[in-house]
Structure 1
Amino acid sequence: MLFFILKRLLVTFLVVAVTSVIAFLLVHMSGDPAAAMAGEGASASDIAAVRELFGFDRPLILQYLDWIGRLLQGDFGRSYYLRMDVVDVLAEHVPVTATLGVLALTFALALSIPLGVLAALRPNTVIDRISLWLAVAGQALPSFLFALGLMYLFGVYLRWLPISGDSTWAHFIMPSVALGYYATPAIMRLTRSGMLDVMQADHVRTARAYGLTPWRVVVRHGLRHAIVPVVSLAAVQLGFMLGGSIVIETIFSLKGIGHLAWESIQRADIEVIQAILLLIAVAYAILTLVADLLNAALDPRIRIS
């Protein structure tokens, strides 16, 4: 198990290192950052002054090494537009997106796993058809349209929930449902297919022959093995929610990192953009690492192989 953990840690480090290079190059090669920061009406001399002031005239490799060196010291730079340290800017927005992502994934798992299990235990029944209908609706319905529907029904018509802001827990209910419902179909289908395969396995038939209760057979001998790929998918979905929640955050006026990224791109706030890209990449890598470790704990064959 120790060798497996060390190997996964090494892979995670390499992924983060490569991603940091890609994030840095994407920001600096998508256009002239000095021209973007100087503004549309800036003259050539103004752009040259900005380029020299912020060191954009140096070779990219030196700029990257300087950026990485500052990151290793805990210095994420300073926002050119907000005149604040990037760490302080992220500290204001990351908790909002993290809360939204965790709640959205919790909703998706709470809805999709029971439906997937029930659909597998009762194939070609009403429950199976309802699960299939929910999966198709979740894939076909755009997240922004679903979010607007929730906003109108529960916020405008019924007036049960607030429609904007992030000051209380009630503000996160509709955004979490709107964001989590998008991840529900994939998790539900994977759970259903996994349970269908596992319930036909020899060890499940043996457990039934020993007279174990149906609940114990389903949960301990069925779901435990079927949920292994679901863990990996859930980690990927959570990473997607953290990085791709800009639409939901904009609709519900949540000041998360998705909204911050959009504003930073409009302002050409280079340091903030680079920090957000690296933060999302690190989140993906860590979530994947955690998923691999959980899968190895659930299924010994993974760590043995």
Structure 2
Amino acid sequence: MDYVLQRLLHGVLTLLAVTIVVFLLSRLSGDPLSLILDPAATAADRAVELARLGLDRSYIDQYLIFLGNALGGDFGESIFYKAPAFSVFMQHLPATLELGVVAIAVSAAIAIPAGVVSAVRKGGILDTAAKAFALTGQSAPIFWIALMLVLVFSVVLGWLPTSGRGGLSHLVLPALTLGWYSNAFLMRVTRSSMLDVLDADYIRLARLEGLPERRIVWVHALKNAAGTIVTTLGLMTISLVTGAVVTETVFAWPGVGRLIVESIFHRDFPVVQAAVTVIAAIVILINLAVDLIFAWIDPRVRLG
């Protein structure tokens, strides 16, 4: 319990630091009034709009007002969308969740079995192919992966659409792109963890007792390697947040990542602040959940 409270305290302090950084950066992104007011607007018109947005106050006052309102779920009104910033964020969140869940599911379904087989067949053809994919998958930029997938499956073969959110066909390329790096990373971690476990004394003892090799690998060994794999899945979830910005922009996917990019260009700082603050809170909770799950899976872990 002390560990949980300590992590929650650290999370609150981290979130507070994030809000300060985002607040300052959003104020340095440019003048939002240039998107609102007519070029022929007078100084009086500008003063009225500054007062309405609260931009006529000092940065300290603006931040304290922002923080107090944010605690109540009020991040202000979007300058571009003319709607509550939090509502704008929530409208785009389902698309990102859909994309992220599919990307993680596909990555886990491919990478974990491939990593296990690669470890069992160490030095073989499958192991060499898996290591080559893991190396190239972690080295290639995500935007390049996206462009190559579009070129092959949309331009050359004409099988899949290039952009937008619709049916399952629209989800394939963005999910593959978003999960590409995570797939390679998880495969590499699974292989490494399984190699460590397969060399353990209790695995040798299980073989001497005549247990089926399949049961040894997929039950006993994989269970003991699960702690590292679960931790990696948690890290993947966090990395998908940054990957979503590029992926959603390339494929015109109407999610939070694309919303943040467009809001930065529109100088819509209420939306940027809302999106980054909520995402930071989610990431902190995911980190805490991963640590607790890891401790539950592996009793050797001592919290505190």
Structure 1 length as normaliser, TM-score? Answer: 0.89
Matches within 5 A, 1:1-305: 2-28=1-27, 30-31=28-29, 33=31, 45=43, 48-304=47-303
Q: Deviations 1:78-108 (Å, cap 9, x if unpaired)?
A: 1011111112211221111111111112222
RMSD: 2.5
Q: Deviations 1:45-74 (Å, cap 9, x if unpaired)?
A: 365554433222323232222112212222
Task: Give how far 1:192 is off.
Answer: 1.3
Give distance in 2, aligned partners of 1:124 and 1:39. Answer: 66
Could you tell which deviates more after superposition, 196-205 or 93-102?
A: 196-205
Give distance in 2, aligned partners of 1:73 and 1:304. Answer: 32
Task: Give how far 1:43 is off.
Answer: 8.1
Task: Give how far 1:32 is off.
Answer: 5.4
Aligned residue for 1:260, secondary structure, equals: helix
Aligned residue for 1:62, secondary structure, equals: helix
Task: Give how far 1:166 is off.
Answer: 0.8
Give distance in 2, aligned partners of 1:251 and 1:125. Answer: 37
CA contact (8 A) 2:26 2:267 kept: no
CA contact (8 A) 1:101 1:241 kept: yes
Could you tell which deviates more after superposition, 35-44 or 149-158?
A: 35-44
Give distance in 2, aligned partners of 1:241 and 1:39. Answer: 37
CA contact (8 A) 1:37 1:269 kept: no
Could you tell which deviates more after superposition, 17-26 or 41-50?
A: 41-50
Gaps of 5+ in 1: none
- Number of residues of Structure 1 aligned to a counterpart in Structure 2: 303
Aligned residue for 2:253, secondary structure, equals: coil
Q: Deviations 1:207-261 (Å, cap 9, x if unpaired)?
A: 3333332223223332223232232222222222123322221222211111111
Q: Deviations 1:146-180 (Å, cap 9, x if unpaired)?
A: 22232233334433323221122221111101111
Change over 3 Å in CA distance of 1:5–1:217 after alignment to 2: farther
Task: Give how far 1:117 is off.
Answer: 1.2
CA contact (8 A) 2:32 2:268 kept: no
Structure 2 length as normaliser, TM-score? Answer: 0.89
Could you tell which deviates more after superposition, 252-261 or 237-246?
A: 237-246
CA contact (8 A) 1:34 1:47 kept: no
Amino acid at match of 2:174: P
Gaps of 5+ in 2: none
Aligned residue for 1:244, secondary structure, equals: helix
Could you tell which deviates more after superposition, 54-63 or 122-131?
A: 54-63
CA contact (8 A) 1:100 1:175 kept: yes
Aligned residue for 1:132, secondary structure, equals: helix
Amino acid at match of 1:261: I
Task: Give how far 1:3 is off.
Answer: 4.0
Give distance in 2, aligned partners of 1:100 and 1:8. Answer: 29
CA contact (8 A) 1:190 1:230 kept: yes
CA contact (8 A) 2:32 2:79 kept: no
